[in-house]
Structure 1
Amino acid sequence: MIVKVCGITTAMDALTALDAGADAIGFNFWAGSSRYVKDTAFLKELPDDFWRVGLFVHEDPQRVLDLMAEHRLDVAQLHKMDAIAGIRVWKAISVDGVLSQERIDQEQAEAVVLDTPAGALEGGTGRSFDWELAAGLKGKIVLAGGLDAENVGLAIQRLRPWGVDACSRLESEPGKKDRAKMRAFIEAARKEFDAVC
């Protein structure tokens, strides 16, 4: 079971998340996001003992492959894109209705990230979707959308996902993490994962 923090834009925020126990960190390579990683130099300063997840939206597959290699990314989280052969892929799905197990199984991905519909924002709204729409799904499900320290425990109890992912509710402003909120989220998620294992 994994805990991911997404939308990291600085080395200090990344190191804070790792120190608190995050397994994966998401870096946004979509220029339309307020969390877009404009300056990638800090990625070279980070250790190698976590999963580097690159978030891509409507991106050219070759550019995804180039960025994966350049920044030593472990996983490509793809929004509104087909899977790309030869790399680890997590597919993002906006949950706007009941999901079938067949839909999850047909995704050509290591894991599926379930998030709240966000329109043109492509995530990071701070809103949760109705978790009951995803009840009973099997496989590597990463639950996202409006999670923070206050509700992540309940989300894990109800859905027993493979992972949880938070972004905007852990921020002081878009692209800038509140380190206390980040630590509290990771601690709460870890505590609940330990309880349900």
Structure 2
Amino acid sequence: MADPSNELLASALSGEGQPSVVQLHGEESPQRCAELRWLYPAIKWWKALRLRGEEDLNGIDAYAASVDALLLDAWSPKQLGGTGHRLDPAWLERLEMRICRDLPWWLAGGISAEWVPTLVHQVSPFGLDASSRLEHSPGVKDLRRVEALVQAVRVNSGNRG
């Protein structure tokens, strides 16, 4: 969801099939995230942050008390995710030194089997959010690419230098 109103959230989170996790992909502030966490304590709240440069890492820890996890993605002026653009892993190494150790973070942006060995050698995200680089056409996953990614993660897990 991106910048959902209270009314939209009330509608989306009521009734059967209530989600256990909601990703926020808009301009939600730490204060807004804290408000949502208070209003819906049974929901896990993840904040997606689109990073343009290393300076965008400043202040990320402000979200530590108001969300259950972060999703870090590359910034794009045209869309909120799924761009295939990668973050510089050097930024993320510095992030790991500054971020609250108890706050899980996921990495998105250009995740592919080919990048996993380099990536997991440099950083240890809680998880990877892969999309566009696993597709053979927009919205259609290539199962061979998905299998290759899973295999690369299995082979390279625990190989941090």
Tell me the TM-score normalised to structure 1 length: 0.63
Corresponding residue of 2:137: 173
Identify the match of residue 146 of structure 2 among 182, 189, 193. Answer: 182
- Residue aligned with 2:46, SS: strand
CA shift for structure 1 position 166:
0.6
Match for residue 130 of structure 1 among 65, 88, 91 = 88
Separation in structure 2 between the aligned mates of residue 99 and residue 159 of structure 1, nearest angstrom: 18
> What is the distance in 2 between the residues matched to 1:164 and 1:120?
22
Higher gyration radius (CA): 2
Deviates more, 1:111-120 or 1:92-101: 92-101
Query: Identity, % of aligned pairs?
Result: 30
- Which piece of structure 1 moves more, 148-157 or 183-192? 183-192
Cα deviation code 1:58-114 (max 9, x no counterpart)? 222442354345434221110122312222111111111225776222112111111
Q: Which ranges of structure 2 fall in alignment gaps of 5 or more residues?
A: none
User: Does 1 or 2 have the higher relative contact order (CA < 8 Å, sep 6+)?
Assistant: 1
Q: Distance in 2 between matches of 1:65 and 1:106?
A: 26
Structure 2 residue matching 1:121: 3-state secondary structure: coil
The runs of at least 4 consecutive aligned structure 1 residues that moved more than 6 Å come to: none
1:94 paired with 2:39, answer: no
Match of 1:64 among 9, 20, 32: 9
Amino acid at match of 1:179: L
Q: Is the 8 A contact 2:22 2:44 kept in 1?
A: yes
2:25 and 2:83 map into 1 onto residues whose CA distance is 15
Aligned partners of 1:115 and 1:123 also within 8 Å: yes
Aligned residue runs from structure 1 range 5-84, under 5 A:
56-69=1-14, 70-80=16-26, 81=28, 82-83=32-33, 84=36
Distance 1:173 1:149 in 2: 17
User: Which residue identity is paired with 2:130?
Assistant: A
Residue 134 to residue 71, structure 1, CA distance change in 2 (3 Å): same
1:148 paired to 2:129: no
Counterparts in 2 of 1:100 and 1:145: CA distance versus 1, 3 Å: closer
Which runs of no fewer than 5 residues in structure 1 stay unpaired? Answer: 1-55
Q: When the two structures are aligned, how many residues end up with a matched partner?
A: 141
After TM superposition, the score normalised by the length of structure 2 is 0.76
Could you tell me whether the CA contact under 8 Å between 2:51 and 2:57 is conserved in 1?
Answer: no
